[in-house]
C-alpha cells in the first residue's frame, strides 16, 4: 500500500470513528407530546453529554414508521403497552430489552410486572411502563347528566357531543353495552360480531356528534365555549378544563374508564441502545418522573414520584376516582394480531355512513 493510500485509509477510519462517536452522543426518541419537557431534556444532556432528537407521534404513527423501516430510524419509542406484542409478532419492529441495564427498583413493582407480562413475546420482554392515564367522559354538569359512554347518544345531548373515530371508542361502547371486548380478543369471529354491533350503535349516534376530534385544541375549545355538553376524553384534559370551570368534570363512566400505559420500547434497528437505557433510567428517577408527569398532566410508573406531584392534580384524581371507580378501570391488554384490522373496517363503515 502506498503512503498516499495509507493516508486516505487512515483519514477514512478517523471520519468513521468520529461519526460513530457522534452517533453515541445522540438519542433519537419517538414519543408523545409533553413527555420531554425542555428542562428535563437539558438536564439529561448536561449529565450525560447525550443530545436528544425528539419526534412527536402517536400509537398508529409509531407502528407505521417502524413498520416502514423494519424498526430503523429511532433508538427509543414510547408505544402504549397494548401496542407492542401484536406489532412485534407481525412485523418484528422491536428488540428484546436487556433488563440488566434497567434500574428496576425505580419502578412501581406491580405496574412493572404487569407491563412485562403484557409486552412479552416468545419469552422476551419488549416494554417497560412510563406514563399512565385513563379515557372516560368529560361532562359539563350544568348541561348534561351523562354517566356512561352510551349517554353520548342520549337525546338531551343531540348535536352537542364529541368523540374520536378510533378504537378506544369501539372498546368503550362495547363495555357500556355490557360486553367485555377484551375477553373476545382471541376469537376473531366473536370479536368481529361484537364490533359490528358496536358499529351500528355508533352509526345511529352520528346525529348527536358535533364533530369527531383528532386534535385536542378543537375539543377543549368546544367544551370551554359550551358548544359541547359531553365528550369522550382523556382524564387530564378534563382536569385542565375543571381548573377554570368547576362545572366541567372528568367522570369515570359506570362501565369503567379505559386505562392505558405508555412504555419504553427499543426499535429493532436502533443504533444507540446505551443512550436509550440511560434515558429510561434517568426518566424513572422520582424527581425527574414527577416533572415529566407534571408536563404530561398524568401519572407515572416511577416509585415515589407521586409524593412530588401537583397537589391540585392529586385531588382531582381522587375526586374522579373513588375506590370503586379505581378498581373498575379497564386496563388495555396486549392487542393480538388482526384485531385492529377488524376495528379499522368497522370505523371505515361508521365514517362513510350518512
Q: 178 is written with which cell numbers?
A: 355490557
Q: What is the pLDDT of residues 81-136, one digit of tens each?
A: 999 999 999 999 999 999 999 999 999 998 899 899 999 999 999 999 999 999 99
Q: Which of 10-14, 63-67, 109-113, 262-266 has the lowest mean pLDDT?
A: 10-14
CA dist 217 and 204 (Å) reads 26
Residue 337: what pLDDT? Answer: 81
Mean pLDDT across the chain:
92
Residue count of the chain: 354
N- to C-terminal Cα separation, the chain: 75
Residue of 81, 102, 107, 136 whose CA lies nearest to 252: 136
Residue 54 main-chain phi, psi, to 5 deg: -100, 130
Give residue 14's pLDDT band: very low, low, confident or very high (50, 70, 90).
very low
Give, for 230, the enclosing helix (H) or strand (E): strand 230-234
CA dist 162 and 228 (Å) reads 7
Q: Which CATH superfamily is domain 134-259+326-352 in?
A: Periplasmic binding protein-like II (3.40.190.10)
Residue 9: what pLDDT? Answer: 45
Q: 35 is written with which cell numbers?
A: 413527555
CA dist 122 and 176 (Å) reads 34
Give, for 136, the enclosing helix (H) or strand (E): strand 128-140
Stretch 305-327: mean pLDDT: 89
Q: 15 is written with which cell numbers?
A: 471520519
Residue 334: what pLDDT? Answer: 87
Residue 54: what pLDDT? Answer: 98
- CATH number of the domain at 3-132+260-324, out of 3.30.70.1230, 2.60.40.10, 3.20.20.210, 3.40.190.10? 3.40.190.10
Domain ranges of the chain: 3-132+260-324, 134-259+326-352
Q: What is the pLDDT of residues 29-38, one digit of tens each?
A: 999 999 999 9
The domains spanning 3-132+260-324 and 134-259+326-352 adopt the same CATH topology: yes
Percentage, residues of the chain above pLDDT 90 = 82
Residue of 180, 183, 146 whose CA lies nearest to 162: 146
Q: What is the pLDDT of residues 144-184, one digit of tens each?
A: 999 999 999 999 999 999 999 999 999 999 999 999 999 99
CA dist 82 and 332 (Å) reads 6
Residue predicted with more confidence, 1 or 65: 65
- In contact, 144 and 248? CB cutoff 8 Å: no
Hey, which residues does 97 pair with through a beta bridge? Answer: none
Residue 256: what pLDDT? Answer: 97
CA triple 296-300-306, angle to 5 deg: 105
Give residue 310's pLDDT band: very low, low, confident or very high (50, 70, 90).
confident
pTM of the shown model: 0.81
Residue 314: what pLDDT? Answer: 86
Amino acid at each position: 500500500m502506498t503512503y498516499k493510500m495509507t493516508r486516505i485509509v487512515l483519514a477514512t477510519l478517523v471520519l468513521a470513528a468520529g461519526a460513530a462517536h457522534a452517533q453515541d452522543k445522540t438519542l433519537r426518541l419517538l414519543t408523545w407530546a409533553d413527555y420531554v419537557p425542555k428542562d428535563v431534556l437539558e438536564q439529561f444532556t448536561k449529565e450525560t453529554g447525550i443530545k436528544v432528537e425528539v419526534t412527536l407521534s402517536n400509537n398508529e404513527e409509531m407502528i407505521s414508521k417502524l413498520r416502514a423501516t423494519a424498526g430503523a430510524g429511532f433508538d427509543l419509542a414510547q408505544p402504549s403497552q397494548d401496542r407492542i406484542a401484536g406489532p412485534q409478532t407481525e412485523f418484528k419492529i422491536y428488540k428484546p430489552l436487556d433488563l440488566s441495564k434497567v434500574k428496576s427498583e425505580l419502578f412501581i413493582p406491580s405496574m412493572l410486572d404487569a407491563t412485562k407480562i403484557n409486552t412479552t413475546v416468545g419469552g422476551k420482554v419488549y416494554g417497560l411502563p412510563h406514563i399512565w392515564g385513563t379515557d372516560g367522559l368529560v361532562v359539563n354538569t350544568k348541561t348534561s347528566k351523562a354517566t356512561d359512554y352510551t349517554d353520548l347518544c342520549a337525546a338531551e345531548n343531540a348535536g352537542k357531543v364529541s368523540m374520536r373515530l378510533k378504537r378506544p371508542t369501539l372498546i368503550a361502547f362495547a363495555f357500556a353495552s355490557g360486553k367485555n371486548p377484551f375477553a373476545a380478543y382471541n376469537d376473531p369471529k366473536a370479536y368481529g360480531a361484537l364490533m359490528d354491533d358496536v358499529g351500528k350503535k355508533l352509526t345511529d349516534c352520528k346525529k348527536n356528534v358535533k364533530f369527531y376530534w383528532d386534535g385536542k385544541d378543537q375539543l377543549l375549545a368546544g367544551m370551554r365555549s359550551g358548544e359541547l355538553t359531553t365528550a369522550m376524553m382523556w382524564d387530564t384534559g378534563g382536569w385542565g378544563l375543571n381548573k377554570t370551570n368547576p362545572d366541567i368534570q372528568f367522570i369515570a363512566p359506570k362501565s369503567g374508564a379505559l386505562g392505558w400505559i405508555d412504555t419504553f420500547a427499543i426499535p429493532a434497528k436502533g443504533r444507540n441502545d446505551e443512550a436509550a437505557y440511560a434515558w429510561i433510567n434517568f426518566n424513572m428517577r422520582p424527581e425527574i418522573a414527577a416533572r415529566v408527569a407534571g408536563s404530561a398532566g398524568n401519572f407515572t410508573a416511577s416509585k415515589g414520584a407521586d409524593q412530588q406531584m401537583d397537589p391540585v392534580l392529586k385531588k382531582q384524581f381522587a375526586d374522579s376516582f373513588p375506590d370503586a371507580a379505581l378498581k373498575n378501570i379497564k386496563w388495555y391488554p396486549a392487542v393480538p394480531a388482526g384485531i385492529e384490522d377488524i376495528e379499522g373496517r368497522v370505523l371505515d363503515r361508521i365514517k362513510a355512513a350518512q
